[in-house]
Chain A
Amino acid sequence: MDITSWRFPVFLLAALAAYVLLPQNRRWWALLAASLLFYACGGAAAMAYLGVTAAATYIGALLLQRLNDRRAAMDQEARRASRRAHDRKRHLTAGAVCCVCFGMLFAVKYWDSTASALGLRPLGLVVPVGISFYIFQSVGYVLDVSRGKIRAQRDPAKYLLFVSFFPQMVQGPIDSFGHLSPQLLSGRKPDADELRDGIQLMMWGFFKKLVIAGRAATVVDAVYSDAGAYPGSVIAFAVLMYTVELYCDFSGGIDIVRGAAGLFGIELAENFRRPIFALSLAEFWRRWHITLGEWMKNYVFYPLSLSGAFAALGRFSRKHLGGMAGRILPTSLATFIVYFIIGIWHGANLTFLAFGLYNGVIITSSILLAPLWSRLKKALRVREDSGAYKLFCMARTSAVVFVGRYLTRAPWLKMSLIMLWRTVFDFHRRRLIPGILALGMSWTDLVVVGLGCAAVLTVEALQERGVRIRKTLASKGALVQWLFIFIPLTVILLFGALGGGGSEFIYGRI
C-alpha cells in the first residue's frame, strides 16, 4: 500500500479505531493484524520473505538466549572456563542467522546485477518493499540478544509484531528491540496531544513528500535517463533537484510513518536531524538516515574496531607509522569500511560503490588531515564558533554532498562522470530556464518547489535554534491554529502529486 494514496489514512483510521476499542492487553493484536494486512497487499512473495526473516531471527534469538541463560547459570569458575566455547557457539548461531537473512537479501536485491557481471543466470526476483529495513532491524535484535543486552521474545506473535510493525515497513526507521517492542506491547491509549502531534507530523511529511519531492522528480527522471543530452546547467539543476527530492521524499516519508506511529502513542526512532546544518561530512551522516548509521556503528564499526585483527593492526601501525597516523589508522579503516557498506546497501551498482568510496575517502582523509587543518585555522586566526565560519562549513559540506549526489542516481558510473564533466566545462547558463521548462517543469512547479524549500529551511533553521514549533503553535490563538490546519491541507490537496493525480498525456501511442 502506498502511504501517499488516500487508502493509507483510511486504513490508519480503521486500525486506530480497532486499537482503541480493544482492551489494553489485547491492543497489540490490532497492530499485528494491521501490519500483516498492510504487508499482505504486497503479495504472497513479500509475505514469504518477511516470514523467513521473522522465523530465522526468532529461532536464532531463542537459541542464543538459551546459550546465554545456560552460561548465566554456571558458577564463575565454569563461566570463565567455557568463555571461548560459549563465544564460538554464540558467533556461530548469530552468524548462521546473518547468513540466512543477508543471503536472502543478497539473492533478492543483488544477485541479478552480480550474475549479469559474472555471466550467470539472473533470478529476476521482485524486491519486496522495505526488505532491507526489516532484515537490518531483526538482525540487530539477534545481535543484541547474543550480546545479552536484551532478552529474547518468546511469544512468536509478539515478536512478529516487532518485525512487521506497518508504519516502518516502507522505509524504516530501523529501530531497536529495546526501544520499540515495549511500546508496541504496552497497549497505552494515545491522548489528544499525541494524536494532534501525530497528525501534524504526518501533514509536514506529506507536504515534503508530495508537494516538493513529487515536483522535483519530474526534472530528475528526465535528465538522469539521458544526461548526455543536456547542458551542464540543466544537469546541475537536476542534481540539485535530486538532492531536494531525496531529502524531502525520504525525510517526508519518515515523518509520515513517525506521525502514523505516534497516533498509537508509539515513538519511532528519529532518522533525520536537519542534515543541511551539518558542519562536516561525518556530521552530515550522523544527521542523515540516523538509524542506519547507528546500526552500522553498533553492529559493524564497534565489532570491527574491537576485533582481534584490528587490535593487531593498531599495534602494527603505532609501531611502524608512529604519531597521529599510527593512532588513527584502524579507526579510519573501520570508518572507510562502514561507508563502503552503506554505499552497497543503497544499491547493487558500481555507482553506489563509488559513492561509498567517495564518502569513505573524504571522511577518512578529513580525520587524517585534521591536525593540519587546525594548524591552518590557527594561523589564519579563524574563530571556530563564529557564524561566518559555521556558514562556510555548512556550505562546504553541502557542496561535498551535492557532488556525491552525481554518483548515486545515474544508471552507470561513466554517466556520472560525464555529468560532472559537463557541469564544470559545458555549463551554458542561458540554456538553464528553457531547458527546465522543456523538461516538463512549469513555472508554477518552480515557484512551488522554491517556496516549499524555503518553508522547509525556515522551519529547520528555527528548530536548529531550539524553537519548538508545535509547542509555539499550540500557544497561539484559535484562528492561527486553524489556519495552520487549513493552509497545509489545501496546499497538499492542490499542489501535492497525489497518487496518480497528475494528468500525463500519452498522445502518440497507437
Chain B
Amino acid sequence: MNSKKWLAAFFGTALALALLIPVLNVLVDPFGVFGDVLFHWDSYSETLNPRVGKLEYLDRHYEEYDSYILGCSSTSSFPVEELNEYMDAKFYNLFVYGADMLDTEDMTRYILRNYTVKNILLNVYIDNGAIYDDPGIDNLTGAMHYAADGSSKLGFYGKYLLLGPRWSLDKVERYFQNRLFADAFDVFDVTSGTYDKRQRDVEYIGDLPEYESRPAYAEFADYPTYTVRLTKTGPAMESLRRIVAMCEDAGVHLTVVCGPVNAGYMEGIPREEAAEFYRALAEVTPFWDFSISSISLEPRYFYDLTHFRNCVGVMAEARMFGDESVYIPEDFGVYVTPENVESLIERNDRLLGTEPDRSDYTCQVPILLYHDVTPDGSVGVSAGQLEDHLRALRDAGYTAVTFDELQAYVYQGAELPEKSVVITFDDGYSSNYQYAFPLLEKYGMKATIFVIGASVGHETYKDTGLAMTPHFGTAEMAEMSDSGVVSIQSHTYDMHQWGPYETGPDIRDGVKRFPGESEAAFVEALQADFAKSRGEIEAVTGKTVDVLAYPGGVYDDLSQWALSECGVRVTLSTRHGVNTLIRGLPQCLFGMYRIYADGYAGGDELVAAIDGLLAQNAE
C-alpha cells in the first residue's frame, strides 16, 4: 500500500468510526434521551443528569402521578408514601441535586404545561439563597432539558448524539456491576423519584462518637465547610414569586416548606443573611419552616451536613398534616407568615448556639442474652443463677421491658422506665418453659424468647433423627405468650443451621448468602423463611411477630433490608454492649447489641457489668 492509498484507507476508516459513534450513543443512550431501547435503565440516566433523566421518565409515566415534590437534593428525604396517604394523592419526587430556584421554576412550568397536577410540595432550602442560575459541572450532566428551559432542541440532541464513546462504554460496563442496592452510578428509586436509600436507612445507628467517626457516607466525607453567602436571595425569591403565581393560575395546591438544616452547616451562613432569607420568603408566600429546631442540633438525624434523614422528612410531613401517631419534637415545624417571621428568626438564633439535651430523645437500654437453662448450669445458666440474676436486677431497680415498649419509645416517643432492661432467650429450649418462665413470673419480669421454627417441639434435629437439646412446643408457647410474661418472636424458621447435622449441599452462615447465590434469590429465600416463621408463631400466639434475633448474630445490610421490607422492626445481633435508642430514628432498633448474661456467675456481678457499660456509654 503506497502512502496515497494509506491516506485514503485512514480517512475512510476514521470516517466510518466517526459515524459509528452516534449509532452507539443512540443504542446505549447513557443520558436516556433516545428512549434507552436496550437497557431501560432510568436510574442510570437520572443519576448522570437528573434534570434530563427525570423529565424523560415522566414523559413516559406522567399518568401514574398527579402531584410533585420539587427542590434540591435534601428534598429527597420527603417520602412520597406518607404524603400519598395524607393527601390522597400520587406523588413523584422531582427533586434534582444542585437545584437552584431557576431549575425549580423551569420544572414547575414544564409539569404545569404538560401534565395534570393537583399538588406541589416545594422545598426551599437555605442554599437557594446562595446559588441561582448555576451552570452546574458541565453542559452534559448539569444541563436542563431543552423542553423545560426553552434552549435549542438541535443543540440538546446534538450533544448527546456526539458524546465521546466512553459514556456508552461506562454504561455497558456498569450494567454488569449493578447491585440490588444503590451504586454510585444508579442512585435513584425510579418510581418514587427519591434517592434509593434502602441501604442507608438500615444502617445501625448507635452512640454519637461511633456515628461521627464512621467512614460511611463517603460521598459526603469531604463536603466543603466554607462560608455560605446568601447573595442570591433576591433573584431566587423573584423566581419563587413566579412559581407561586403559576400555581395559582393553574389552580394547583402549593405547599412551601423550608427543610431541616444541620446546625453545623448553619454555622457557615451569616445570621443576618439568613434572617433576610426568611423575611423575603415570608414576603412571597407563607411556608412551613423546619429549618432550625432541636433536630438541627443532633447529627444522627442527618446523613451528612446538608442532608436530613428520611425519618426526619416523615416527622415534617406528620407535623404538617397533624398526624399524632408519629414522634415529633415539640419545636419542630412552624407555619410562618409575615406576622410571625421575626419571632421565628429570633427563636432560631437563640436555638443555634445551644447544646441539645440528649436525655429528651435518647436513652440507654441493655439487652440480656440467655440460651439454655439447666439445673446444674452445665450448659448455659443454672436455674439458681438465673434466679440470682433476676433478684439482683429487681433489687437494683431495673424494670424488664418488652420490644413493643422500645418501639413505642422510638416511633411514638413514649416514655420508658428510667432503668430499663430487656431479657431475651435464643433458640426456644424446653428449659426456658420449665425453669425461666416460673422465675420470670415470680420476679415480675418480662422476657422475649426467639424460637427456631424448624425446632419447635423437637428433640431431634429436623428430620435426621439425631438427638438435640429439647425445644418447647406450641402448647408451651401459647401458655407463655398468653400469660403476658413472655413474648415469642422469631429466630428464623430454618436459617439457624448446625453444620454437622445438615444433609443438604450448602450450609448457611446464619442468614447470610450462600457463595454464588444471587441477591434476588437470597432476598426471596430469607423473606420466605421469615414469613413461615412468623406465620407459625402468630397462628399460635395471636400476637404480632416483628422482632428477629439473627442466628449467630451475623447479618448484613441486604438481610437487614430484606427483613425490614417484610415488617421486621427490631433485629438483634450478638455484639456486646448496650444500646442507644433515639426517638424518631427506626434504625437504632436494627442489629441491637446484647450482653451474654449466662457468662456472669452471680446477679451482682451482672448488675455491675451492666452499670459499667451504661456509665461508659452515657451521652
Do the two shown chains form a genuine complex with each other? yes
Q: Give the distance to chain A from B386, nearest Cβ to Cβ, in Å.
A: 46
A505 and B14 form a contact (CB under 8 A): no
Give the complex CA separation of A16 and B170 in angstroms: 35
Report if B9 contacts A (CB, 8 A).
Answer: yes
User: In the complex the two chains form, is A503's CB within 8 Å of B187's CB?
Assistant: no
B98–A502 CB distance below 8 A: no
Stretch touching chain A among B160-168, B354-362, B489-497, B519-527:
B160-168
Shortest C-beta distance, A193 to chain B (Å), equals 5
Residue of B nearest to A438 (CB): B218
Of the candidates A442, A478, A481, A509, the one having the most CB atoms from chain B within 10 angstroms of its own CB is A509
Shortest Cβ distance from residue A191 to the other chain B in the assembled complex, whole angstroms: 8
Query: Is the Cβ of B47 less than 8 Å from the Cβ of A501?
Result: no
Contacting pair A502 B170 (CB below 8 A): yes
Chain A residues closer than 8 Å to B127, beta-carbon distance? 510
Beyond A481-B1, A510-B125, is A493–B165 a contact (Cβ under 8 Å)?
yes
A506–B137 alpha-carbon span in the complex (Å): 8
Asked if residues A510 and B173 are in contact (CB atoms below 8 Å), the reply is no
B contact residues around A191 at 8 Å (CB): 3
Complex contact B138–A500 (CB within 8 A): yes
Query: CB distance A510 to B306 under 8 Å?
Result: yes
Is A486 at the interface (CB under 8 A from chain B)? Answer: yes
Q: CA of A421 to CA of B141 in the docked complex: distance in angstroms?
A: 41
CB-CB under 8 A from A501, the residues of chain B are 163-167
B10, B99, B170: the one contacting A503 at CB < 8 Å is B170
Instruction: Return chain A residues, CB-CB under 8 Å to B171.
Output: 503
A490: chain B residues at CB < 8 Å are: 17
Asked if B30 and A196 sit within 8 Å, CB to CB, the answer is no
A498 partner residues in chain B, CB cutoff 8 A: 164-166
Can you name the residue of chain B whose Cβ is closest to the Cβ of A479? B1
Say yes or no: is A278 at the interface (Cβ < 8 Å to chain B).
no
Does residue B498 face the partner (Cβ distance < 8 Å to A)?
Answer: no
Encoded as 1 (CB less than 8 Å from any A CB) or 0, chain B from 1 to 29 comes to 11111110110011001000100000000
Q: Which of B97, B137, B165 contacts A510 (CB 8 A)?
A: B97
In the complex, what distance in Å separates the CA atom of A508 from the CA atom of B47? Answer: 11
CB-defined contacts of B146 to chain A, threshold 8 Å: none
Q: CA–CA, A478 to B166, complex, Å?
A: 30
A485 in the interface (beta carbon within 8 A): yes
Give the number of chain A interface residues (Cβ < 8 Å): 34
The answer on a CB contact under 8 Å between B5 and A478 is yes
Are A195 and B7 in contact, CB atoms less than 8 angstroms apart?
yes
From A192, A493, A494, A507, residue with most partner B Cβ within 10 Å: A507
Interface hub of A199, A474, A478, A501 (most chain B Cβ within 10 A): A501
Contact A510 B164 (CB under 8 A): no
Q: Which residue of A lies closest to B187 (CB)?
A: A507
A489 to B13, CA, bound (A): 8
Cβ-defined contact, B13 with A482, below 8 A: yes
Tell me if A97 is interfacial: C-beta within 8 Å of chain B.
no
A510 touches B98 (CB 8 A): yes
- Contact between B7 and A507, CB atoms less than 8 A apart: no
A residues 264-297 touching B (CB-CB < 8 Å): none
Chain A residue numbers with a CB within 8 Å of B220 are 508
A494 to B173, CA, bound (A): 12
Q: Is A394 part of the contact surface with B, judged by Cβ < 8 Å? A: no
Give the residue name and chain of the B residue nearest to A480 (CB): B1
Closest B residue by C-beta to A13: B11
Docked-complex contact A503 and B17, CB < 8 angstroms: no
Asked if A508 meets B74 with Cβ closer than 8 Å, knowing A192-B4, A481-B9, the reply is no
Tell me which residues across on chain B come within 8 A of A509, comparing CB atoms: 73, 97-98
B250 part of interface (Cβ distance < 8 Å): no
Within 8 Å of chain B (Cβ to Cβ): is A444?
yes
Task: Give A503 to B125 CA distance when docked, in angstroms.
Answer: 28
Please provide the chain A residues from 433 to 475 with a CB less than 8 Å away from any CB of chain B in the complex: 442, 444, 474
| B166 lies within 8 A of A196 (CB) | no
At the interface, yes or no: B463 with Cβ under 8 Å from chain A? no
| Interface check A499, CB cutoff 8 A | yes
Interface residue? B219 (CB, 8 A): yes
> In the complex, A296→B220 CA distance in Å?
48
Q: Considering residues B166, B167, B220, which has the most beta carbons from chain A within 10 angstroms of its beta carbon? A: B166
- Asked if A64 is at the interface (CB within 8 A of a chain B CB), the reply is no
Bound CA–CA A493/B7 (angstroms): 19
* B117 contacts partner chain A, Cβ-Cβ < 8 Å: no
Cα distance, A508 to B305, chains bound together (Å):
11
B373 within 8 A of A: no
Q: A503 contacts B3, CB within 8 Å?
A: no
Tell yes or no: B615 within 8 A of A by CB: no
Cβ of A163 < 8 Å from any Cβ of B?
no
CA distance A486 to B7 in the complex (A): 12
Residue ID in chain B nearest A503 by CB atoms: B170
Contact residue among B3, B14, B163, B223 (Cβ-Cβ distance under 8 Å from A196): B3
Nearest opposing residue in chain B for A482, CB measure? B9
User: In this assembly, does A131 line the interface, its C-beta being within 8 Å of a C-beta of chain B?
Assistant: no
A357, CB-defined interface residue at 8 Å: no
Q: Is A219 an interface residue (CB 8 A)?
A: no
In whole Å, how far is B95's beta carbon from the nearest beta carbon of chain A? 10
Say yes or no: A192-B30 contact (C-beta < 8 A), given A489-B17, A503-B170: no
Q: Does B140 contact A (CB under 8 A)?
A: yes
Distance between A429 CB and nearest chain B CB, rounded to angstroms = 22
Does residue A497 face the partner (Cβ distance < 8 Å to B)? yes
Q: Produce 1/0 per residue, A287-322, CB < 8 A to B.
A: 000000000000000000000000000000000000
Is B185 an interface residue, CB under 8 A from the partner? Answer: yes
Q: How far is the CA of A147 from the CA of B165 in the complex (A)?
A: 53
Set of chain A residues within 8 Å of B169, measured between Cβ atoms = 494
Given the contacts A478-B5, A493-B21, A507-B184, A485 and B166 also touching, CB distance less than 8 Å:
no
CB <8 Å contact, B173 and A444: yes
Is B562 interfacial (CB-CB < 8 Å)? no
Question: Are A497 and B1 neighbours in the complex by a CB distance under 8 Å?
Answer: no
- For the complex, give the distance between the alpha carbons of A497 and B169 in Å: 12
Q: Please tell me if the beta carbons of A195 and B165 are within 8 angstroms of each other in the complex.
A: no
Distance in Å: Cβ of A202 to nearest Cβ of chain B: 11
Nearest B residue to A9 by beta-carbon distance? B14
Across the two chains, which residue of chain A brings its CB closest to B14? A489
Residues of A within 8 A of B99 (CB): 510
A196 and B138 in contact, given A485-B13, A501-B167 (Cβ under 8 angstroms): no
Is B72 an interface residue when CB atoms closer than 8 A count as contact? yes
B48 interface hit (Cβ, 8 Å): yes
A interface, CB within 8 angstroms of B: 191-193, 195-196, 199, 442, 444, 474, 477-478, 481-482, 485-486, 489-490, 493-494, 496-510
A-B contact pairs, 7 of them (CB 8 A): A195-B7, A196-B7, A485-B9, A493-B21, A503-B30, A506-B137, A510-B98
| B interface residue numbers (CB < 8 A to A) | 1-7, 9-10, 13-14, 17, 21, 30, 47-48, 72-74, 97-99, 125, 127, 137-138, 140-141, 163-167, 169-171, 173, 184-185, 187, 219-220, 223, 306-307
18 additional contacts, CB 8 Å, given A195-B7, A481-B6? A196-B6, A196-B10, A478-B1, A482-B13, A496-B166, A498-B164, A498-B166, A500-B140, A500-B164, A501-B165, A503-B166, A504-B141, A505-B47, A505-B184, A507-B47, A508-B223, A510-B97, A510-B125
